[in-house]
Amino acid sequence: GQNIDQPTEMTATEGAIVQINCTYQTSGFNGLFWYQQHAGEAPTFLSYNVLDGLEEKGRFSSFLSRSKGYSYLLLKELQMKDSASYLCAVRGVGSGYALNFGKGTSLLVTP
Amino acid sequence: DTAVSQTPKYLVTQMGNDKSIKCEQNLGHDTMYWYKQDSKKFLKIMFSYNNKELIINETVPNRFSPKSPDKAHLNLHINSLELGDSAVYFCASSTGSNQPQHFGDGTRLSIL
């Protein structure tokens, strides 16, 4: 099975940087994904890590350490529209590519 | 053009009824999924289909049955609906293990 943990809520100020952590325990690992979900909408893909290190994509970066079972999503130059839920998801081995999601981190960006 | 589309968007029905949710993707993906998101926003995999074969079934009650007439469609049939089935159901699709899944807009199912 898989156990994925991330903080329930975070608050940050517009223009600041925020780091959302995710830890996981899994019997097999085949990649880690970050998704953004605004209230009432579908999850949308942000980033993917399968090897250790940092992946950068504009204002968003994601880091993975497989030995530590740890990832983080870094959001820079926060904007009000970044207020959303951020979902960490792990793809296991032999799971037919299905994702196991954490419970999500609700991020509130304040002026 | 909508990549993953599911219908209906809202479904309100009574306990004990049978209902279906349809999903279609025009991305040419070979794997499709159904996820359930409960009131606490926890998104959980229900089924995945690859080339018309069921790959996983995560302890979902057999009242739920996925049906795939072709690789662009994966419909979800639910029999004898129960109050606990109230949730948002998301369809998704992908190709390859390192490719992201694309989600539909969700179907909000409410059981009265």
A55 burial via Cβ count (<10 Å: 0-12, 13-18, 19+)? middle
Share of chain A above pLDDT 70, in %: 96
Q: Please state, for a pLDDT cut of 90, what percent of chain A lies above it.
A: 84
How much is the mean pLDDT over chain A? 94
Query: Would you place residue A74 in the very low, low, confident or very high pLDDT band (cuts 50, 70, 90)?
Result: very high
C-alpha–C-alpha distance, residues B86 and A59, integer Å: 36
Tell me how far apart the alpha carbons of residues A63 and A74 are, in angstroms, rounded to a whole number: 8
Per-residue pLDDT, B21: 98
Of the partner residues A31, A37, A100, the one whose CB lies closest to the CB of residue B45: A100
pLDDT for the residue B52? 66
User: In the sheet where B64-67 sits, what is the strand order?
Assistant: B4-7, B19-25, B75-78, B64-67
Give chain A positions within 8 Å (CB) of B100.
33, 45, 48
Model confidence at A93: pLDDT above 80: no
Q: Which of A64, A70, A60 is nearest to A23 (CA)?
A: A70
pLDDT greater than 60 at residue A1: no
Interface of A with B (CB under 8 A): 30-31, 33, 37, 41-45, 48, 50, 85, 87, 91, 95-101, 103-104
**Tokens at A73, concatenated:** 């999503």
Surface-to-core class of residue A87, CB atoms within 10 Å of its CB (0-12 exposed, 13-18 middle, 19+ buried):
buried
pLDDT tens for each residue of chain B, 112 residues long: 669 999 999 999 999 999 999 999 999 998 999 999 998 888 999 988 887 678 777 678 999 999 988 889 999 999 999 999 999 999 999 987 678 999 999 999 999 9
CA-CA distance, A15 to A89, in Å (whole number)?
26
Contact between A104 and A45 (Cβ < 8 Å): no
Residue among B96, B92, B100, B110 nearest B44 (CA)? B92
What confidence tens digit (pLDDT) does each residue in A41-52 have? 999 999 999 999
Under a CB-based contact definition with an 8 Å cutoff, are residues B43 and A101 in contact?
yes
C-beta atoms of A43 and B90 within 8 A: yes
